[in-house]
Copies of this chain bind each other. A is one copy, B any other.
C-alpha cells in the first residue's frame, strides 16, 4: 500500500513537471509566432493547449484518488494540495501562451509587434518561458527559496511591462490605436503568465515548508 502511495506521489510530481515544461514550450513557440507574424506556428500553440487542459484533468484525478484511497497527512497532504492548486495555474499559463499566439493570428498579416518593441517582447518571451521551466527543478529537487527567486525574476517582467505601456501611450506613438490596444493586452498575457509561475513556486515552497510566504 505504502509503495503504491509513493508511486502515485511520484507520478503527481512527474505530471506537474511535465505540465510546466509544456507551458514553457508553448510560451517559447507563441513568442516566436508573434514576433515573426507566423500564423501557422501560432495555430499549433492554440491547438496544443487542449493537451495542457487534459493534463490538468489527469492531475486532478490523481490527486482525488490519492486523497480518497490513501488519506495522506502532513507533507504528503501538502504535496497533493499543491498539485491541485498548481495544475490549475499551469493550465492557465497554457491559456495565456495561447492568447499570445492568437495575437499573431488576429493581427496577421501585419506584425503584432512593431520593430521598436520587438526586443522588449523577445526578452519577455525568454524570461517568462524560463520562469515556467524553473519549477520543474523545484519539483524534482524540493527545497525552499523558489518563490523568492521567481519573485525577483518577476520584477524584470514588471519593468518591461511598464516600459511597453509607456511606449504605446506616448504621444509619439506612430502605429495607431488597434496596434496599441492589442499590445496592451499582449504584454498583460506575459505579465499574468509570469505571475502564475510565481504562484506555482510559492505553492511548491509551501509543500516543503508548511509555511505560506506572505
Residues of chain A having any CB pair with chain B under 8 Å: 57, 60, 63-64, 67-68, 71, 73-74, 77-78, 81, 84-85, 88, 165, 168-169, 173, 177-178, 180-181, 184-185, 188, 212
9 sampled A-B residue pairs with Cβ under 8 A: A64-B77, A64-B78, A67-B67, A71-B71, A81-B84, A85-B88, A165-B181, A173-B177, A185-B185
Cβ–Cβ < 8 Å partners of A184 in chain B: 181, 184-185
Complex formed: what's the CA distance from A73 to B67 in Å?
8
Q: Is the interface of A mostly helix, strand, loop or mixed?
A: helix
Q: Is the CB of B84 within 8 A of A77?
A: no
Q: Can you add 18 more A-B contacts, CB < 8 Å, to A63-B81, A71-B71, A177-B177?
A: A57-B212, A60-B81, A64-B78, A64-B81, A67-B67, A67-B71, A68-B77, A85-B88, A88-B88, A168-B181, A169-B177, A169-B181, A173-B177, A180-B180, A180-B181, A184-B185, A185-B188, A188-B188
